[in-house]
C-alpha cells in the first residue's frame, strides 16, 4: 500500500482539496483508497459524508477523533484491500513533529498557493522536511504542488520562480477553478463532475498520478511506528 502525506503547516494552502481529489482520482481508477483525516476541522471527513452512495468507494478514517474503547492502532487501521492511503494533515504542525508524521511515507506532497505569505511558509515547511525530518532530495519522495494558480499573473510567476529554485520537483500545477468548490460541496472529485473544465484539469491530475506511480516503495522496516506518531499531531 502506498502511503501519501499531504502537508503544509500553513492553513488554507489546499491540503484537504488535494487529499480529497487525490482519493477520488484513485477511486475512479479502481485503486481502492483510504483517506486518513488528521485535521480537527474534519474537512475531509465531512467531504466523504457528502459523497453519493453510488460513487467509487473511498474508505474514511477520522484520525482526529479519540476513543477510549479501542487502541490507537485499531482506530487508524486501514483495510488490507486498500491500495493507497492519503493522509490529510492539520495546520500549525510544529517542526519537531515532522519526523514522526512523515516516517514511512512513500510520497510527501506540499501544496503552495501563489502569494508571498504562502511562498515563505512553504519555504519553511520544506526546510523543516529536509533538515528536521531528514527527508533526502535523492530519495525522490518530496514533491511540490502549485495550487490555485492563475497563469500570466505576477504572483504566479513569482511562485514558479520560487519552485524552480528549490531543486525539488514541481509535480503538478492546478488552476484556480470553481470546480473545486463544487467538489467540496458534493463529495465528488473534480474529475467526477460533469463540465468542460474536466479535460483541462485532468492533464494536471494525470501528471500527479504518474509521478506518484513512479515513487519507489519505502522499505517495510521504515514503516515501524508510523501509527503512534500521529497522536502527537492532533
**pLDDT for position 185:** 95
**pLDDT for position 198:** 64
pLDDT tens per residue, range 190-232: 999 876 656 678 889 999 999 999 988 875 555 544 444 455 3
Q: Give the residue extent of every domain in the chain.
A: 2-233
**pLDDT for position 225:** 43
**pLDDT for position 233:** 42
The phi, psi pair for 108, rounded to 5°, reads: -125, 120
pLDDT tens per residue, range 1-18: 999 999 999 999 999 999
Query: pLDDT band at 28, cuts 50/70/90?
Result: very high
Q: How many helices (H) and strands (E) does the chain have?
A: 8, 7
Residue 30: partners with Cβ closer than 8 Å, 6 or more residues away: 56
At residue 122's C-alpha, the angle toward residues 138 and 219, to 5°, is 35
* pLDDT above 70 (res 64): yes
Q: Are 215 and 2 in contact (CB under 8 A)?
A: yes
> How far apart, in whole angstroms, are the C-alpha atoms of residue 125 and residue 127?
5
> How far apart, in whole angstroms, are the C-alpha atoms of residue 189 and residue 24?
5
* Cell triple for 111: 501544496
CATH number of 2-233: 3.40.50.300, 3.30.60.50, 3.30.1300.10, 3.40.47.10?
3.40.50.300
Residue 45: partners with Cβ closer than 8 Å, 6 or more residues away: 37, 60, 62, 64
Query: pLDDT band at 80, cuts 50/70/90?
Result: very high
**pLDDT for position 223:** 52
**pLDDT for position 197:** 59
Give the pLDDT mean for 38-63. 96
Looking from the CA of 3 toward its CB, the CA atoms found within 13 Å total: 18
Give the pLDDT mean for 180-195. 90
> How far apart, in whole angstroms, are the C-alpha atoms of residue 198 and residue 7?
25
How many Cβ atoms from other residues are within 10 Å of residue 34's Cβ?
23
Q: Are 87 and 3 in contact (CB under 8 A)?
A: yes
Give the pLDDT mean for 184-190. 95
> How far apart, in whole angstroms, are the C-alpha atoms of residue 77 and residue 69?
15
**pLDDT for position 232:** 38
Residue 139: partners with Cβ closer than 8 Å, 6 or more residues away: none
Share of the chain above pLDDT 70, in %: 91
Does residue 224 or residue 87 have the better pLDDT? 87
Model-level pTM? 0.91
**pLDDT for position 194:** 73
Please list the residues that pair with 36 across neighbouring strands.
Answer: 61, 87
* pLDDT above 60 (res 75): yes
> How far apart, in whole angstroms, are the C-alpha atoms of residue 80 and residue 98?
26
pLDDT tens per residue, range 105-160: 999 999 999 888 999 999 999 999 999 999 999 999 999 999 999 877 888 888 88
The phi, psi pair for 35, rounded to 5°, reads: -120, 110
Amino acid at each position: 500500500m502506498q502511503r501519501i502525506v499531504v502537508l503544509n503547516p500553513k492553513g488554507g494552502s489546499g491540503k484537504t482539496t488535494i487529499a480529497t481529489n487525490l482519493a477520488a482520482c484513485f477511486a475512479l481508477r479502481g485503486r481502492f483508497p483510504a483517506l486518513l483525516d488528521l485535521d480537527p476541522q474534519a474537512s475531509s471527513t465531512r467531504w466523504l459524508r457528502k459523497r453519493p452512495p453510488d460513487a467509487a468507494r473511498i474508505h474514511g478514517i477520522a484520525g482526529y477523533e479519540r476513543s477510549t474503547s479501542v487502541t490507537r492502532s485499531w482506530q487508524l487501521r486501514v483495510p488490507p484491500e486498500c491500495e493507497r492511503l492519503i493522509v490529510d494533515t492539520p495546520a500549525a504542525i510544529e517542526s519537531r513533529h515532522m519526523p514522526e508524521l512523515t516516517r514511512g511515507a512513500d510520497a510527501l506532497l506540499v501544496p503552495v498557493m501563489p502569494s508571498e505569505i504562502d511562498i515563505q511558509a512553504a519555504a519553511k515547511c520544506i526546510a523543516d522536511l529536509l533538515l528536521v525530518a531528514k527527508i533526502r532530495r535523492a530519495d525522490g519522495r518530496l514533491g511540490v504542488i502549485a495550487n490555485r494558480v492563475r497563469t500570466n499573473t505576477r504572483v504566479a510567476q513569482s511562485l514558479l520562480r520560487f519552485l524552480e529554485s528549490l531543486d525539488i520537483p514541481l509535480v503538478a500545477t492546478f488552476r484556480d477553478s470553481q470546480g473545486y468548490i463544487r467538489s467540496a460541496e458534493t463529495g465528488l472529485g473534480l474529475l467526477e463532475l460533469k463540465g468542460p473544465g474536466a479535460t483541462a484539469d485532468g492533464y494536471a491530475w494525470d501528471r500527479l498520478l504518474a509521478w506518484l506511480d513512479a515513487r519507489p516503495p519505502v522499505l517495510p522496516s521504515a514503516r515501524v511506528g508510523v501509527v503512534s506518531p500521529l497522536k502527537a499531531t492532533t
